[in-house]
Amino acid sequence: MSATSKKMGRTSVPELRARKGKDPIVCLTAYTAPMAQRLDEHCDLLLVGDSLGMVVYGMESTLAVTVDMMVNHGKAVMRGSKNACIVVDLPFGSYQESKEQAFRTASHILAETGCAAVKLEGGAELAETIEFLTMRGVPVMAHIGLMPQQVNTMGGFKSQGRDEETARKTLADAKAVAKAGAFSVVVEGTVEPVARQITEAIDIPTIGIGASVACDGQVLVTEDILGLFSDFTPKFVKRYANLGDAVSEAVGQYADEVRTRQFPTDEHCFGLAKKGKLRAV
């Protein structure tokens, strides 16, 4: 949905698919109802990412995130939003075993949350799974390039496409997931020339995260751009606010006022005594 147009109801998967090469798609992560409510009017797509394992639960990676976590946070984001298309990640271990396992997990998440689509990580090796899901009514957003669920096999969070081998593989992955029926693909941590080549080579929208302006849209972790997650800041993140500092300052002021009995004041209390008499409460 462009900045100059308004529509009623949620942005649909076909609408996003049709945005290829047109207005850039605005996407952010959301894990809670209050945050989803704030983001909804500005975003075409809200991603309930398994990054919540690190951002919300303080995990070292996304690998320990469960299906139940994704369902609960997916429900919360659905409750807090009205307009954005909602996509929920399939967590590690919930879809890699077989295409049948992937369908069971995806259909469960769709039914429980009411979201529009699921996202899974993987390229050519998961093309058969993507086709299996889409042929059975499960819209799929793919995820290639740097894949956090494969951080152990990738040897860490390393950008992709810097050498001929990873560049060729990332391009092949993009073509495979598009052919398999994915309606869009997240391209993460991929050098600009490769991201641009991918965007030009496939007919579905590319959503970049650390993959340059060449992509059809962009996604970032909301807490990163707001300065609420300070464990580390990826190179590709731009901070638009430092709310973490504001939170610390506000809580510090609250703590000082409690300790010095400046809070609460009369205006924050019920049943105050008048002229030496107690008011019933």
51 is in an annotated binding site: yes
| Closest to 61 measured CA to CA, from 159, 186, 147, 185 | 147
The answer to whether 200 is a known catalytic residue is no
Q: Which helix (H) or strand (E) holds 125?
A: none
| Catalytic pick among 15, 97, 188, 267 | 188
Q: Is 165 annotated as a binding residue?
A: no
Cβ atoms of 138 and 130 within 8 Å: the answer is no
Q: Are 191 and 182 in contact (CB under 8 A)?
A: no
Roughly what angle, to the nearest 10 degrees, separates helices 164-180 and 192-201? 30
Confirm or deny that 216 is annotated as ligand binding.
Answer: no
Helical residues (DSSP H) of the chain, grouped into ranges: 13-17, 33-39, 52-55, 67-80, 99-113, 127-134, 151-154, 164-180, 192-201, 222-225, 243-259
What residues form the annotated binding site?
50-51, 89, 119, 121
What residues form the annotated binding site for Mg(2+)?
50, 89, 121
What residues form the annotated binding site for 3-methyl-2-oxobutanoate?
50-51, 89, 119
* Residues known to be catalytic: 188
